Amino acid sequence: MRGRLRELAQERRRFGYRRLQIRLDREGVAMNHKKLFRLYREEGLSVRKRGGRKRAMGTR
């Protein structure tokens, strides 16, 4: 289970645990969302942060 979760997370880096759960459900793997979230965090997975908006520095 952990291996498949890792594979899906590598394929879809912008997917969080909720969207990964939908993918797993479609493959026939039913799992409680609390258990899936625990595994997701234990594996050190998280959605990659995007860069913020650039703002002007100081006064013009």
Look at residue 27 and tell me if it is in a domain.
yes
Phi, psi of 19 (to 5 degrees): -70, -30
Q: List per-residue pLDDT tens for the chain, 60 residues long.
A: 899 999 999 999 889 999 999 999 999 998 999 999 999 999 999 988 888 888 888 776
Confirm whether 19 is domain-assigned. yes
Contact 5, 43 (CB under 8 A): yes
Q: What is the pLDDT of residue 52?
A: 85
Q: How far apart are CA 8 and CA 40, in angstroms?
A: 11
Domain that holds residue 12: 1-43
Give the predicted TM-score (pTM) of the model. 0.77
pLDDT given for residue 20 in this prediction: 95
Tell me which DSSP letter residue 51 carries.
Answer: P
CA distance 59 to 41: 42
Cα–Cα distance, 47 to 44 (Å, whole number): 10
Q: How many domains does the chain have?
A: 1
Q: What is residue 60's predicted lDDT score, i.e. its pLDDT?
A: 64
